Structure 1
Amino acid sequence: MDAISKQDLIREINRLAHVRKRTIVAIAGPPGSGKTTLAKELAAELNVKSAVLPMDGFHFDNEQLREMKLLHRKGAPETFDAVGFVDLIQLARQGGALRFPTFDRTLDATVPDTGLITSDTSVVLVEGNYLLLKTSPWNQLREAFNLTVLLDVSQQELETRLIDRWLKHGFTLNESRDRALANDIPNALFVLEQSTTPDFVLGTGPSPASRQ
């Protein structure tokens, strides 16, 4: 496991993309670590056609989470359709075009078939909290990835970003702090404790709390 800068990561992905038809890159990390921002930046700066595939589209719907008595834990591993996500990533590795669900934060709901990977997409940047988990079925993802990156950020910075995220959704400071500390931070610690060793670690450092 080696530390890597964003520019070196871009060079490494470009190198891999030129020796295979499709390269699948995992960008993993705790909530608030900067996965969404980094994935979008990479997609814009790579010199091959790429697409971002977020894990968030595989959240179970709120109604289903209520039935499972897991709505208060939304964002934890058990609140995702992990089997469906694994199947999609394995399909993406095979090449060809496919659609996938995305997540609308305003609606707090998944939206089917709104994401698209075209047949000429060379690099798929998969971003999500649990891409490197050791537990089944998440651990089946590892064989589908050509490159894995774990984002590194201090717990203090994560707390700041996550509280700010809830504030931007209209919650009070106390409500935002409660949501971040009661659910988001435990999920973040779980990611760090239960993930396998990545190929590279990239530090995001102090940066705007808008990072996802």
Structure 2
Amino acid sequence: MATLNKSVPLSAYTTFSRAEWSKLSHSTIEILSADEREKLGSINETISADEVADIYLPLSQLLYMHMTQSVQLHENVSTFLQKKTKKVPFVIGVAGSVSVGKSTTARLIQALASRWPNQPKVDLVTTDGFLYPNSILEERGLMKRKGFPESYDIGKLIRFLYELKSGCAYIEAPMYSHLTYDILEDTVQKVIEPDVVIVEGINVLQVNKKDRRIPQVFVSDFFDFSIYVDAEEENIRSWYIERFKLLRNTAFQQSESFFHRYRHLNDAEAFAFANDVWATINGINLEKNIRPTRHRADLILKKGMEHRVEEVHLKKCRDEFISTFFN
């Protein structure tokens, strides 16, 4: 039997081919313009109109159903308790490997969710901001472990999510610069009375196994719905190397870039360097810490070549919503 990992069979999910999934949406309206899709893409990932219509529009509609059910439950509980409780946002987690395209997925969901009938305020928070600053990572000898569980201030991330789900009207999240490869000091993201919050990062489905000083509360405990963006490792490795080569000719040319020293690498040198980083850091992190969390997601987007989603796996405990699509 095919499996997601050694302990969770693929049969724990309902599998949809791309064609089957695309039929779940009855809308034929172009939701995102070509200009919007270009802005939402990344340096090595373009977003086609077909990808939005076939994959992300049905996903957006599914998320909207979950959100409206969550709001209704909140109202029903308030009525039952005869006490008005604070509004809390609907939280969506997006996980996946470095270079798999999870950031693009998160931005697409944000753009589509903002167009839901209730026109919600949708914020996107990345867990990169919860990495320890480089100074601390260097002090602890963790610079080459950046992205591994121990490189994140998970306690700080948990506190942020506690405040979020407690109905705090104003919360600050730290921010990260991919240019300087470090936390932005004295710069924060202001999260003000959101209706929906998307939390994106490689670590959002991970559990704390080592540091017993941190209460056994996990990031995913605060999610109302979670998504894992998946692909074969060979494809992800190829995308990572391609992105490195493109950045060598763009962002790395800027003097403030952490990787400015690599701007003069030729194609063969850039390939060798990026391939080595993948083999010694990112590939190991994927195998040991990221992919094992895949079975914890409510939905898995499985990509094929060119970032094209070929299959969608929906956890069977969510099947009550599938019949709504078909009726």
1:49 aligns with 2:125: no
The answer to whether the 8 A contact 1:150-1:200 is kept is yes
The answer to whether the 8 A contact 1:24-1:124 is kept is yes
Q: Which residue of 2 is the match for residue 173 of structure 1?
A: 271
User: Hey, what's the Cα distance between the residues in 1 that align with 2:197 and 2:304?
Assistant: 25
User: Hey, what's the Cα distance between the residues in 2 that align with 1:204 and 1:50?
Assistant: 25
Q: 1:65 to 1:38 in 2, by over 3 A?
A: same
Q: Which residue of 1 is the match for residue 100 of structure 2?
A: 33
C-alpha RMSD of the superposition: 2.0
Q: Say which SS state the counterpart of residue 31 (structure 1) adopts.
A: coil
How far apart are 1:100 and its partner, in Å? 0.7
The answer to whether the 8 A contact 2:134-2:183 is kept is no
User: Hey, what's the Cα distance between the residues in 2 that align with 1:90 and 1:62?
Assistant: 26
How far apart are 1:160 and its partner, in Å? 0.8
User: Hey, what's the Cα distance between the residues in 2 that align with 1:29 and 1:177?
Assistant: 19
1:153 aligned partner, one-letter code: A
User: Hey, what's the Cα distance between the residues in 1 that align with 2:304 and 2:188?
Assistant: 32
Matches within 5 A, 1:80-91: 80-91=152-163
User: Hey, what's the Cα distance between the residues in 1 that align with 2:94 and 2:155?
Assistant: 19
1:115 aligns with 2:176: no
Answer with 127-136 or 2-11: which moved more: 2-11
User: Hey, what's the Cα distance between the residues in 1 that align with 2:136 and 2:57?
Assistant: 41
1:10 to 60, 67, 74: 60
1:55 aligned partner, one-letter code: T
Q: TM-score, normalised by structure 2?
A: 0.59
Question: What 5-or-longer segments of structure 2 have no aligned partner?
Answer: 1-12, 16-20, 22-54, 72-86, 249-261, 263-269, 308-327
Q: 1:147 to 1:166 in 2, by over 3 A?
A: same
How far apart are 1:37 and its partner, in Å? 0.4
Q: Which residue of 2 is the match for residue 153 of structure 1?
A: 231
Q: TM-score, normalised by structure 1?
A: 0.88
User: Hey, what's the Cα distance between the residues in 1 that align with 2:246 and 2:131?
Assistant: 21
1:31 aligned partner, one-letter code: V
Q: 1:194 to 1:16 in 2, by over 3 A?
A: closer
User: Hey, what's the Cα distance between the residues in 2 that align with 1:12 and 1:194?
Assistant: 22
Larger radius of gyration: 2
The answer to whether the 8 A contact 1:132-1:142 is kept is yes
Structure 1 stretches (4+) deviating beyond 6 angstroms?
A: none
Number of positions where the alignment pairs a residue of Structure 1 with one of Structure 2: 207
1:65 aligns with 2:137: yes
How far apart are 1:142 and its partner, in Å? 2.4
How far apart are 1:140 and its partner, in Å? 1.7
The structure whose RCO (Cα within 8 Å, separation 6+) is larger is: 1
Question: What 5-or-longer segments of structure 1 have no aligned partner?
Answer: none
Q: 1:2 to 1:149 in 2, by over 3 A?
A: farther
The answer to whether the 8 A contact 1:23-1:123 is kept is yes
Identity %: 19
Q: Say which SS state the counterpart of residue 135 (structure 2) adopts.
A: helix
Answer with 122-131 or 82-91: which moved more: 82-91
How far apart are 1:33 and its partner, in Å? 1.6
Residue deviations 1:84-138 (CA, integer Å, cap 9, x gap): 111112211223221211211111111254322221x211000011111133458
Q: Say which SS state the counterpart of residue 92 (structure 2) adopts.
A: strand
User: Hey, what's the Cα distance between the residues in 2 that align with 1:194 and 1:15?
Assistant: 25
1:105 aligns with 2:178: yes
User: Hey, what's the Cα distance between the residues in 1 that align with 2:233 and 2:189?
Assistant: 31
The answer to whether the 8 A contact 1:133-1:196 is kept is no
Residue deviations 1:2-39 (CA, integer Å, cap 9, x gap): 45742222112222333424101111111112111011
User: Hey, what's the Cα distance between the residues in 1 that align with 2:305 and 2:190?
Assistant: 32
The answer to whether the 8 A contact 1:59-1:80 is kept is yes
2:280 aligned partner, one-letter code: A
